[in-house]
């Protein structure tokens, strides 16, 4: 049996290698998509929706419909984001699309601007709140301004910890996850 017969007509070694990299979607987003955005100042629909499915797979249809209702493609939307003058304007451009809330906007911005933005996630937020970290908004961020305040606190904490913003987010999420797991196994 030849290699072509084993792999079949629609698969080849190059495609399989590419697909295996997609399995680690977060790595793909931060190693490939982030670089492409920096270079192109926009995202392809494929890359845009890869971010959406990474943050919340169930939101992809609503966001696709929101883009259609706004008469925008993902590429056009992301060009607007890259042209926005301020961080708050970048957030607001995304929030004007039905289906994109603050958490989703944060994920998109985090991939595109990983040194400036971080993912807004209830686990990370809860970890910071339980640790009584100073400077957090009084409540879970519900506006662009509150989200940017959250990002500022995270940037300062990341610098103090000697971590990238992305690794701080991972650590905060993992702390919450671990606390939940420990509570579960202690109930046994």
Q: Concatenated DSSP letters for 126-171?
A: HHHHHTT-TT--SSS--SHHHHHHHHHHHHHHHHHHT--HHHHHHH
Tens digit of each residue's pLDDT, the chain (188 residues): 455 455 555 778 888 888 888 888 999 999 999 999 999 999 999 999 999 999 999 999 999 999 999 999 999 999 999 999 999 999 999 999 999 999 999 999 999 999 999 999 999 999 999 999 999 999 999 999 999 999 999 999 999 999 999 999 999 999 999 999 999 998 76
Domain residue extents for the chain: 24-117, 119-188
Q: Burial-class residue 180 by CB neighbours within 10 Å (0-12, 13-18, 19+).
A: exposed
Specify the DSSP class assigned to residue 59: G
pLDDT of residue 5: 52
Question: Which residue is associated with the tokens 């519900």?
Answer: 142
The dihedral formed by the CA atoms of 31, 32, 37 and 43, expressed in degrees to the nearest 10? -140
* Chain Cα centroid distance, residue 61: 17
pLDDT of residue 171: 97
Specify the DSSP class assigned to residue 30: I
**Phi, psi (5° rounding) for residue 16?**
-65, -40
- pTM exceeds cut of 0.85: yes
């Amino acid at each position: 049996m030849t290699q072509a017969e084993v792999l079949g007509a629609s698969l080849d070694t190059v495609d399989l290698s590419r697909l295996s990299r997609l399995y680690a979607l977060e790595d793909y987003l931060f190693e490939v998509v982030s670089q492409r955005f920096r270079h192109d100042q926009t995202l392809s629909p494929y890359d845009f929706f890869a971010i959406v499915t990474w943050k919340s797979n169930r939101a992809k249809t609503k966001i696709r419909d929101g883009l259609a209702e706004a008469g925008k493609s993902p590429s056009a939307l992301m060009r607007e984001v890259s042209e926005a003058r301020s961080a708050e304007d970048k957030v607001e451009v995304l929030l004007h699309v039905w289906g994109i809330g603050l958490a989703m906007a944060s994920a998109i911005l985090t991939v595109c601007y990983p040194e400036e933005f971080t993912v807004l996630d209830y686990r990370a937020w809860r970890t910071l709140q339980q640790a009584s970290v100073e400077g957090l908004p009084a409540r879970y961020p519900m506006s662009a301004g509150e989200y940017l305040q959250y990002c500022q606190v995270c940037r300062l904490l990341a610098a103090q910890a000697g971590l990238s913003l992305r690794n701080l987010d991972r650590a905060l999420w993992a702390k919450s996850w671990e606390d939940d797991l420990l509570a579960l196994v202690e109930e046994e």
